[in-house]
Structure 1
Amino acid sequence: MSYVQENDTLNSLYEVSLRGSVFELETLIGRDPLILHKLSLTTFTETPLHISALLGHLDFTKFLLTHKPQLALEMDHCKRTPLHLASAEGHAEIVHVLLQTCEDACLVSDQDGRIPLHYATMRGRTEVARKLIGAAKSESVMVFDGSGKTMFHLCVEHNHLDTLKTLVQVGDVREDFLNSGDLHHGNTILHLAVMFKQIETVRYLLSISKIREEANIENKMGYTALDIIEQVPKDTRSLQIKLMLMDAGFKNNGKSQVHHPPSASIIDVTPSRTLNPNEKSWRKSLKRVNKLLLQKSDRLEEMRGMLSLVATMISTVTFGVVMNPPGENLTPMLQFQFREMFTSLLTMNTISFISSLGVTLLLISGVPLKNEVTMGFLSVGTSVSLTFLVLTYIHAVPFSRFKYFGETFSVLFSWLGIFGAIAVFIIIRVVSRIVKVL
C-alpha cells in the first residue's frame, strides 16, 4: 500500500468514527488488518476511540476495544483519555465498557490535574460517578484536582447535590476529608455552600455529624461559615441559612464586621468618635454623590464609536474653516465692512473646534468612562460643539456668493427647537434619577 493510499485509509477511519458505523470499520480492517496500529502515523490528536466515546457510539467503542484495548489509555492533546470524555458527556454504558477494559484509566490525570470522576461531578453525571466509584477505584473520590479542589468542592461549585450525595454514600471517604479546605482559600464545602446560598446543600451538609462537629472550622481568612453568611448580600435565602447554622450550634468569631460588602460606601465612619449633626449631613451628602458617581451606564459602549466619529468630523470641518476662511474673494472695502462678523465667526468656530477636541481627548484617555457623570460631560461637550458649529454656519452665510438670510434664521430656529426638546428630556431624566437616589 502506497503512502497516499495509507493516509486515505486512516482518514477514512476517522470519518467512520464520526458516524459510528461498525460495518464500515470491519471493512477497513479487512482491507488493512494493521490499520488500528498505524494511528500514531496520523496528525490527529485524538484516536477513533476518543471520538466514539465522546459521541456515545457504544457498539463502535466495543469493537475498537476488542481489536485494540490499548486505545483505552491513549491520550489526546490535553492528556485526556477516552474515559475522560465519556465521563464528561455522561455516557454511562461506554464508561462501563472502558472500565472493564482498563480500570486504571479512572486514575489518569489530564493536563489540568483532573481524573474522569472530576468531570463527572462537574457535569452532574451521577450515574457515571457511581460507576467510576463502585466498579473501579473508590479512593479516586479523595483525589484533588490541579486547582486544589476535591470532588465535593466541584459538586458544590456547580450545584449538583445529587452527585454530592452519591459521592458521600458510595465513596470510601474518611470523615475528616469532608471538612477539607481547598488549597488556595481553605474553604470547606460548607463554606462554599453558604457563600453560594445553596439552602438544600447546606441542609444536607448539616445532617452529616462530622460536619456539625467541626462547626467553627475557619478558612485561611479566619472566617467560619457563619461569618461568611454575614458578608453576603442580605435576602431571605441568607437569613434562612443563618438560622440553620445558628440552630446547628455554629458561632462567628467576631470578624463578621471587619470587611464590608462590596456594595458598602467608600466612606467609613469611625465608631470611636461621635459625629456632630453638621458632619453627619455632610457625610450623607457625600454618600449620595458617591452613589450617583457609581451609577453605571452601558450606553457609552454603544455610543463610543459614534461620538468619536462626530467629534473627529467637527474638528476637521472647523479646522478647514481656518485654513480656508470665507470672504477671501471680497474686495478690501467689503472685507473691512465684514471684519466684526468675521471675528465672531472665528470665535464660534474656535469654540466648536476646542470642544470637539475635548470630547475626542476624553474618549481616548484612560479616564473611566462607564458612568453617568462622564457620560454627561461627553454629551454636553458634543452638544456645545454642534451648537457652535451651527452658529459658525450662520455667521459664514453672509460671506457666500448667495446670501439666504431667511434660511439662516430657519436653520437657527430648527436647531433651537431640536436642542430644546432634547434638553427638556434630559432634564426630566436627571431630575427623576436624583429624586430616586435621594
Structure 2
Amino acid sequence: MSINLNSALWKANDLKDEKLYAALLLAEGDRRLAALLQPPADHVSREADLPLDEGSRRHAMCPDLYRSTQTGSINRVMELLGFKEEMTCVKDDIVDPKEVKLFLEDSHEISKRTNKHWGHGDGLCTLQEVTAEKNTVLHIAAEQGHLELVETIIGRDNTLLVSQNAMQETPLHLAARAGNRRMVSLIIFLAQESGIGAYQVLTKRSIEGDTVLHEATQHGHEDVVQALMTVAPALSAELNNTSMSPLYLAVVRNSIGIVRILTQYSFSSALGRNRQNALHAAVLQSQEITSMLLDWKAELANRRDASGNTPVHYAASSGDVTIVKTILDIVPLAVYIQDHEGSSPLHVAARMCNCSAISCMIDLCPDSFELCDNQGRNFLHIAAQHGGKEINLNGRDLKNIISIINLVSRKPDLKKLVNERDNEGNTPLHYASMNGFTEVILHLLKVTEADTTLMNNEGKTALDHAASLDSFFLMAGAVATLSGYGATFSPERQDKVIKNWKDETTKWIDRVSDNLIIVSVLIATIAFSAAFNVPGSYNGDGIANLRQTRQYSIFLVLDTISMSASLSATILLVVSKAVSKRGSWISFSLSLIFLWISLFTMELAFVIAVSVVMGNGKTATKCIVSAISMSFFIWTVLAILNICSPANLETIRKFLSFTRKQTQTTRQIGIQFPKLASYVKRWNLFIFLNFLLYFTTVAILWTI
C-alpha cells in the first residue's frame, strides 16, 4: 500500500466516514484512483468529456417516477420500475397521502394511468428515462440526498454513476453542489465497488469544465471538500474552462475553511481568470486569507495577471494599508513590479487617492517613489492629474490628494518629484492646471513651492494650461491662484494666444438673462401682490388690522425692498442685452446682486408675516420658522461659495494685489481675461453683501 493511500485512509478514518474509507481500501489495486492522490509533475492535460451521442438518448421521465424520486419513496420507485421483488417494508421518509393511495391501487391500473402516454409499451417506467435537463433518477436522488434510494438504483444499473445531464454533470456533481458529504462518499464507494471505478466519477467534468471539487468549493461546502481532498487531492490542481482553480473560487467566496484545506497541498493550483492567482482575489477579500496564502506560497505576490498587475497593485487600489503592509513585509520587492503601462503600486494608489497606502509603501521601500510609468510620470503626476476630470472628485478624494502633497513636502527626498517632468515635459503643476482644481494648485504652490516658470515640450507653462480651460469658473480660479503666486505665461505673440472670452461672456450673458428676466418679473409680481394682501387682512374701512404692530411695518419695508430690487434687476437684465460688451457685463453683474437681495428680502418678509399673524404667543413655532429660513439661506450661500468661488480669501487678496502691478502677466491677463479682475472684485462684494444680510436678518428676527 502506497504512502499516499495510507495517508488518505488515516484522513478518512479521522472523518469517521466508513464509505470513503471502504472506497480507499478498494483503491489499493486501482492505479487510476491511486493517481488522484498525487498529480503527475507535468500535469497540464484537461481531457474534455464527449457529450452523449445520438444513440444514447433516453426517454422522457414520467411524472410519477419524477415525483417519487424527489420524495425518496423507494417502494414507489421500485414499483414503477417493475422491481416488485425489491420493494421494502420500510416506511419511506416522506409519505404523501395521495402516494399511499396510489401504492395500494392495482399495479395494472397504475401503469395504465401513469404510463399510457409516455411511450412505455409494457406500462412500466425505466431507468433510462430523463428529465427535460436530461437528469436521470440517480441525479435526482443524489441531489435530494436519498441515500437508500441511490444505493438501490445503483444496485440495478451502475452505469448511471457516469451518466451526464444536459450540462454534462454526473450525479456526483449534483451531490457535491448540494453539500451532502454522506452522499458524495456513498457514490465514490459504490463506483469503486461496482467496477465502474471511483476515478471515472471523480474526474468527469461539466460542460463548464468544473470537477466535483469545483462544485463543492464554489458553493462553500467545506465538509464535502474535505472528503474529496481525502480521496482525490489531485483535483485541486485542475482548472475549469475559464481557467479557475478550486482555490481561486474558494478565495472569491471568502471561504476561509476551504482555503485552509486546499493550501495543505503544495500542488494545489492558485490560478484564476485573466491569469490572476488566488492572492489577487484575496487582497480584496480578507486579511486572514491573504496571510494564509502568503504563508503557503509567498511567490504569489510577484506573479502578474494578464495586464501585468500583481496582488500589490490590487491592494493599493483598494487602499487597505494593513494588507499592503502584510504583503510587503514578506515580499518587499513586489512594490517595484510595474504593469504593462508601467504603473507601479504607488501609481495605482495615487490614482485612487490612497495617501495612507502611498505612505506605507514609501516607508517600507524608500526608493520606490522614483518609479515612473511608460509616460515618464511619477506618482505625484498621477495624483495631480486624477484630482480633476478623470475621476469624480469628492471631498474625501480632494482631502487625500492634499494629504499626498503634504506627504511629499514633509520628506526631503521626495521634494524633487514636485518639479519632475514626464515624457511630454509636464510637471505635476501642469496637470493640476489642466484640470483647474484650485485647491490642488494652491497646495502645490504653497506647500511644495512648485516652480511656476517651467515649460513643457510645447513651451507651455502651468498658467498657459489654466488659461485654456473651457469653464469660466475653473479658469478664473486657476488663473487667479497661479498669477497670485507669481506664475507667468510662456513668451508668445499676444494675438496668437488670446482666447476671446469677451465673446464667450456675451453669449453666456444672453443665454442666462432670458431666464433671469422671467424670475425677476415673477418676484416683482409676488411682492406687488403681497403689499395689498397684507397679513391680518383689512377692517371695514379698508385699513390693515395689524398696522399698529412693529412686525407689520418691517414686513412692508422688506416687501418694498424685494419689489424694488427685482424691478431694478429686470431693467438691468434688459439693458445688458442691448448695450456694448463692457456695459453688458456691468449691467448683468449688478442685476445678479439686486436679484439676490430681492430673493432674500422676500424670504425674510415671509418669516415676518408668519410672525405677525401668530400674535404674541407661539414663541417656539416662530423660532422654528426662523431657524428653517436661516438654515436654507446659510446652506445656499455655502453651496454658491463652494461651487463658484475663484479661490480662498488669501489667494483673492494676492491676486488683487498682483493685478495692481504693471507686468507682462497682468497686461496679458487684462487683454485675454478683461472680466477676471472684475469678477474677483464682485465676488468679494458678494461675500460682504451676504455677511450684511446675515447680520440684518439676525437683528430683525431678534425684534420679533
Same fold (TM over 0.5): yes
Q: In structure 2, the residue corresponding to 1:168 is in which secondary structure?
A: helix
Whole-angstrom CA distance in 2 between matches of 1:103 and 1:164: 24
Query: Equivalences for 1:289-368 in 2 at 5 Å?
Result: none
Q: Which of 288, 293, 296 lines up with 1:132 in the alignment?
A: 293
Who is 1:240 aligned against?
A: 403
Whichever residue aligns with residue 30 of structure 1, its letter is F
Against the structure 1 CA distance between its residues 290 and 245, is the aligned structure 2 distance closer, same or farther, given a 3 Å change threshold? farther
Tell me, yes or no, if the aligned pair for 1:22 and 1:60 is still in contact at 8 Å: yes
Which of these two proteins has the greater Rg computed from alpha carbons?
2
Against the structure 1 CA distance between its residues 90 and 282, is the aligned structure 2 distance closer, same or farther, given a 3 Å change threshold? same
Whole-angstrom CA distance in 1 between matches of 2:506 and 2:378: 36
Unaligned segments of structure 2, at least 5 residues: 1-156, 438-468, 480-488, 513-642, 645-678, 680-704
Query: Equivalences for 1:22-421 in 2 at 5 Å?
Result: 22-33=181-192, 34-41=197-204, 43-44=206-207, 45-100=209-264, 102-106=265-269, 108-121=270-283, 123-134=284-295, 136-169=296-329, 171-174=330-333, 177-184=334-341, 186-208=342-364, 210=365, 212-231=366-385, 232-233=387-388, 235-249=398-412, 250=414, 251-252=417-418, 253-254=420-421, 255=426, 256-259=428-431, 260-261=434-435, 264-265=469-470, 271=490, 272-274=492-494, 279-282=500-503, 284-285=505-506
Tell me, yes or no, if the aligned pair for 1:139 and 1:173 is still in contact at 8 Å: no
Whole-angstrom CA distance in 2 between matches of 1:78 and 1:244: 43
Who is 2:70 aligned against?
A: none
Tell me, yes or no, if the aligned pair for 2:242 and 2:273 is still in contact at 8 Å: yes
Who is 2:175 aligned against?
A: 16
TM-score, normalised by the number of residues in structure 2: 0.37
Against the structure 1 CA distance between its residues 289 and 241, is the aligned structure 2 distance closer, same or farther, given a 3 Å change threshold? farther
Against the structure 1 CA distance between its residues 24 and 40, is the aligned structure 2 distance closer, same or farther, given a 3 Å change threshold? closer
Whichever residue aligns with residue 377 of structure 2, its letter is Y
Displacement of 1:30 in angstroms is 3.4
Displacement of 1:79 in angstroms is 1.7
Whichever residue aligns with residue 192 of structure 1, its letter is V
Tell me, yes or no, if the aligned pair for 1:124 and 1:163 is still in contact at 8 Å: no
Whole-angstrom CA distance in 2 between matches of 1:42 and 1:66: 19
Tell me, yes or no, if the aligned pair for 2:301 and 2:311 is still in contact at 8 Å: yes
* Residues 350-387 of structure 1, C-alpha deviations (whole Å, 9 max, x = no match): xxxxxxxxxxxxxxxxxxxxxxxxxxxxxxxxxxxxxx
Whole-angstrom CA distance in 2 between matches of 1:247 and 1:105: 46
TM-score, normalised by the number of residues in structure 1: 0.57
Whole-angstrom CA distance in 2 between matches of 1:26 and 1:214: 53
Whole-angstrom CA distance in 2 between matches of 1:288 and 1:150: 53
Tell me, yes or no, if the aligned pair for 2:319 and 2:356 is still in contact at 8 Å: no
Tell me, yes or no, if the aligned pair for 1:13 and 1:28 is still in contact at 8 Å: yes
Whichever residue aligns with residue 180 of structure 1, its letter is I
Select the structure with the greater relative contact order (CA < 8 A; seq sep ≥ 6).
1
Whole-angstrom CA distance in 1 between matches of 2:378 and 2:233: 49
Whichever residue aligns with residue 282 of structure 1, its letter is D
Tell me, yes or no, if the aligned pair for 2:251 and 2:285 is still in contact at 8 Å: no
Q: In structure 1, the residue corresponding to 2:268 is in which secondary structure?
A: helix
Q: CA RMSD in A?
A: 3.6
Against the structure 1 CA distance between its residues 285 and 246, is the aligned structure 2 distance closer, same or farther, given a 3 Å change threshold? farther
Whole-angstrom CA distance in 2 between matches of 1:148 and 1:51: 29
Whole-angstrom CA distance in 1 between matches of 2:202 and 2:188: 13
**Identity over aligned residues, as a percent?**
17
Unaligned segments of structure 1, at least 5 residues: 292-435
Whole-angstrom CA distance in 2 between matches of 1:151 and 1:288: 53
Tell me, yes or no, if the aligned pair for 1:178 and 1:189 is still in contact at 8 Å: yes
Q: In structure 2, the residue corresponding to 1:238 is in which secondary structure?
A: helix
Displacement of 1:18 in angstroms is 1.8
Q: In structure 2, the residue corresponding to 1:52 is in which secondary structure?
A: helix
Displacement of 1:8 in angstroms is 6.7
Tell me, yes or no, if the aligned pair for 1:141 and 1:151 is still in contact at 8 Å: yes
